[in-house]
A and B are shown apart, each in its own frame.
Chain A
Amino acid sequence: MLRYLLSKLWTFVPTFIGVTIISFAFIRVLPGDPIIVMAGERGVTPERYQELMHQFGFDQPIHVQFWNYLTGVLQGDLGTSYVTKKPVWDEFFALFPATLELSICAIIIAIALGIPAGVIAAVNRGKFFDRALMSTALIGYSMPIFWWALLLIIVFSGNLGWTPVSGRISLMFFFDNVTGFMLIDSLLSGQKGAFASAVHHLVLPSIVLATIPLAVIARQTRSAMLEVLSEDYIRTARAKGLSPLRVNGLHALRNAMIPVITVIGLSVGTLLAGAILTETIFSWPGIGKWMVDSIFRRDYPVVQGGLLLVAVAVMLVNLVVDLLYGLINPKIRKR
């Protein structure tokens, strides 16, 4: 298992280099000059422009700029935002827990509902439940997410008044930012009702964000299960007199999990990379909105650093997925 882990870690190196190059190049190939954007409507004199070019190092050849960036990254320095003048690293970690918290809640909802739904649909293939579930999943998958979010806000926040419209917690509560995770911090604060308020604020954005992964997971689970259910070892399991719950939920599901874990991993990746729409609609202070803003401002260090950190997070998720493959299917581990 350790060798398996090390061999997987080794593949990180080329990916990491690739990501640094892409994140560096991406913002530079976009039209627009950061200095012009920074100067705003008043404009800038040619002398001042040259001065700023020199200050930011844009007058140096592109490979030198990349080298400076790379050596900075390897020393843990992602640079300073042109706009806020704060280190990218600090900004990222101030916002990332909010995205992470939302993503984790969303993926938990998606897994907890998607896998059982897929299993039940596969076991009842072609029957009413299967058809109803898969049509619903298709609707969930193809629905515009902003429209769905607004619909939920209108019904649950507007008409019924069950949930708040935006933010992470009610303004009544104020406590120290210990972990950055509102659910944990609110508990740590010991304030009455703080945790409940945090949960309240999480419900709608989590559901909205979970919708697409939920549909994808349910459909993937169903198709993987259908394939596995026709295998000989399922017949063996049934011939042993095992209950359908054990046959479907253990013998079949464990074999069907490989493709399902793959799509879960991919979903987590996309969630981390920016639940931009969801974060925007619910005024959720995560990295999605931060990244979009920085692109509009041509804030090179933020775009570069943010992309890089998100990519590393996605790589870590993929590593976990790879380890889970080995854990679930011994054939992969023993190879």
Chain B
Amino acid sequence: MSLLRIRNLSVDFATAGGAFRAVDGVDITVDEGDVLAIVGESGSGKSVSMLAMMGLLPWTATITADEMSFDGRDLRDLTAKQRRKVIGRDMSMIFQEPMSSLNPCFTVGFQIKEALKQHLDLSKAQRHQRAIELLDLVGIPDPERRLNAFSFQLSGGMSQRVMIAMALACKPRLLIADEPTTALDVTIQAQILDLLTDLQKETGMGLILITHDMGVVAETAQRVQVQYAGQKVEEQPVQTLFTEPHHPYTTALLAALPERATTKRLPTIPGVVPGQFDRPAGCLFSPRCQYADDTCRGVKPPVQGPELGLARCHYPLGAPVKETAR
């Protein structure tokens, strides 16, 4: 049984201009020990789908799903109180901006111990000990002294380590890292990613890595799920995704990698992700797709089989028969 299984998750936001669908029929499956990367541009609904699962969206959001289960428990009909017993303990999350994700009014130690106090039955001394262990685990030197530090006394990398320590406090079975390295500089990015993958291997927890950086994906993930405008457009193991992408969007994303650029100017994907008022009738990527035809623009694309990376496309690349018929 999968650790996390989400089927047909949709999230709508009530806005002044009517409902806006941020996540549109997304499926996510994560097993124990799995590392799944979710990639896509800004506004592709990566974070929102995870926040929906954690129950951290504002009340303007309406969440619907055919299935949303974690470790066999249906997350859909948990009360807020029951959900608070799961999040932060079995399922935890780290965020994009480590510096602003820590409360400036409380010490690092207080914030870590608070998570322990909330979920585990430990004495004060045990909590203190465990907090030191955790800071040590995430590679913070002189952990006992650091417990008394405030977030504004730490660098970005250190803050993210603290966030990881806090997320790991109750030994979660699933860790969601929402662009954990975006706000950090490049050398620190590599350190944090190494730390995350090491910790994942040690603990055997599931890891969902949300990112828009294909380089990060290649280094860390086992499986990749590409999202575009709130939809999952492709899912593949990491090796084959890089060698044999099936969705034109994935191809375009990979072509935009600086390492792969063959021309003097870096290739880009023209246009932007459709917003609330300019969603196309057919394939959502059709306005930006170099292969799009009238079918793409008028008819919603089907989801292809696993051999074609579950690509949501009328004409997936690398399809043996139909490719020639075009």
Contacts and interface: CB of A to CB of B under 8 A. Distances in A.
Interface in B90-116: 92-93, 95, 97, 100-107, 114-115
B153 interface: yes
A240 B150 contact: no
Given A255-B104, A330-B150, A331-B152, A232 B97 contact: yes
B92 to A, nearest CB: 7
Interface string A301-335: 00000000000000000000000000011110010
Given A254-B105, A328-B105, A331-B104, A236 B163 contact: yes
Interface residues of B, number: 31
A206 B202 CA distance: 63
Contact of A330 (B83, B85, B88, B104): B104
Given A241-B87, A241-B118, A242-B84, A233 B104 contact: yes
B318 to A, nearest CB: 39
A130 B109 CA distance: 35
Contacts of B83: 241
Interface of B: 54, 56, 83-89, 92-93, 95, 97, 100-107, 114-115, 118-119, 150-153, 163, 166
Given A242-B88, A331-B152, A236 B103 contact: yes
Interface residues of A, number: 20
B93 A239 contact: yes
Contacts of A232: 95, 97, 100-101
Interface of A: 231-233, 235-243, 251, 254-255, 328-331, 334
B84 A241 contact: yes
Contact of A239 (B85, B87, B97, B106): B87
Which residue of B92, B95, B100, B105 has the most chain A CB atoms within 10 A of its CB atom? B105
Contacts of B105: 251, 254-255, 328-330
Contacts of B102: 233, 236
B231 to A, nearest CB: 25
A76 B95 CA distance: 60
Contacts of A236: 95, 101-103, 163, 166
A328 B103 CA distance: 12
A251 B103 contact: yes
A221 to B, nearest CB: 16
A113 B152 CA distance: 33
Which residue of A232, A254, A331 has the most chain B CB atoms within 10 A of its CB atom? A232
A254 B105 CA distance: 7
B182 to A, nearest CB: 13
A239 B92 contact: yes
Contacts of A231: 100
B210 to A, nearest CB: 14
A235 B54 CA distance: 11
B88 A239 contact: yes
Given A240-B115, A241-B84, A241-B119, 19 more contacts: A232-B95, A232-B101, A233-B104, A235-B56, A236-B101, A238-B56, A239-B54, A239-B56, A239-B88, A240-B87, A241-B83, A241-B118, A242-B88, A242-B114, A242-B118, A254-B103, A329-B105, A330-B150, A331-B104
